[in-house]
A and B are shown apart, each in its own frame.
Chain A
């Protein structure tokens, strides 16, 4: 059960980052967002 909550939180934050990536106009901000998104996606797929 706790794992589902965990995955839902990570999914929510990943989607938020995804949305943020397309909203940003500055390429450097997009690069920073992409790097953070990488870590969240690894978590989302439970690669640890």
Chain B
């Protein structure tokens, strides 16, 4: 009798522990659904949602913010997309850096920092990635979410065995949740296809002239430190390459393959006729050769395994013991953006876009990201 009572007592104790564990882990999961605050500069003229361009996205995890900076002079329209792949942090941080610093001068700038908002609400399974990474600022660390390359399966499930995307490209099943394989999108498709359709609607309605999609790739991946361009932007990409090389950035050009469909640098050009560019920087944190994943691996970019792989000649970029920090990767994106805008002004002056207050890439490298980011919001 006593033995039964003892086991019931321990069962009740374990039940209480279960409740505590549920509460702690539940709270942690819920915070992944709260996007970190962005503090736009005084130059912000409007904030829209992607659902303003495509209403079926309203009240879904596919809806996201669109920050608009309108210039005082006539010019072209620029779209900057960060967070297409939420496990490529330089895209998100570059977009946030722009939002928190720039003022429109000529033309209009549209910035979407979390293009796949759903991808930010979960992490890649079995990767052991941190939920967040901390960028140091003079007022303390500022936290950003590290998400997954793909849309959260909670929002879009199940994956088909083979995915035939809206541009009729056959892909493996899980690519159905990869925003950068779903262009030009489907109005009545899966959530990720709807997000892609929403971005196409933004491009069409705002008469975007040039779209820049910010990405990162693993150092063992051949398309790295690269400007990937649609053939309608080849001259622009070549001009940008010259300027970037003159500034000391080692960068290469990659033409968008004409028979690889569903990607921004292909479909934005084919279906909306805009100049379509995708930028890649090297990120060890989502490569296969990395050591322990951590916030410092993302921010400092130091990894002894990548340094060794570089010495063995296995990588497509030099990777020293000093690593490739996030500040350098963001500086590369900003330098490429500046060079592309310079090239656009030269090639098509009537479509020129000029902004003020963009953090100079050399200064970002020298002073760090924190010098150009808003201080973190105090909790509580």
Question: Which residues of A are interface residues toward B (Cβ below 8 A)?
Answer: 18, 21-22, 24-25, 27, 30-31, 33-35, 37-38, 41-42, 45, 47-48
Q: Which of B8, B18, B25 is A22 in contact with, Cβ under 8 Å?
A: B8
Question: Which residues of B are interface residues toward A (Cβ below 8 A)?
Answer: 3-4, 7-8, 10-11, 14-15, 17-18, 21-22, 25-26, 29-30, 154
Taking CB atoms, residues of chain B closer than 8 Å to A45 are: 22, 26
Taking CB atoms, residues of chain A closer than 8 Å to B3 are: 25
- CB proximity of B184 to chain A, nearest CB, Å: 29
- CB proximity of B365 to chain A, nearest CB, Å: 39
16 pairs, CB–CB < 8 Å, chain A vs chain B: A18-B15, A21-B11, A22-B7, A22-B11, A25-B3, A25-B4, A27-B7, A34-B18, A37-B15, A37-B18, A38-B21, A42-B22, A42-B25, A45-B22, A47-B30, A48-B29
- CB proximity of B27 to chain A, nearest CB, Å: 9
- CB proximity of B21 to chain A, nearest CB, Å: 5
Are B18 and A38 in contact (CB-based, < 8 A)? yes
Beyond A22-B8, A27-B10, A48-B29, whether A41 also contacts B22 by CB under 8 A is yes
Taking CB atoms, residues of chain A closer than 8 Å to B7 are: 22, 24-25, 27, 30
Are A31 and B154 in contact (CB-based, < 8 A)? no
Taking CB atoms, residues of chain B closer than 8 Å to A37 are: 15, 18
Counting chain B CB atoms within 10 Å of each CB, which of A18, A41, A45, A48 scores highest?
A48
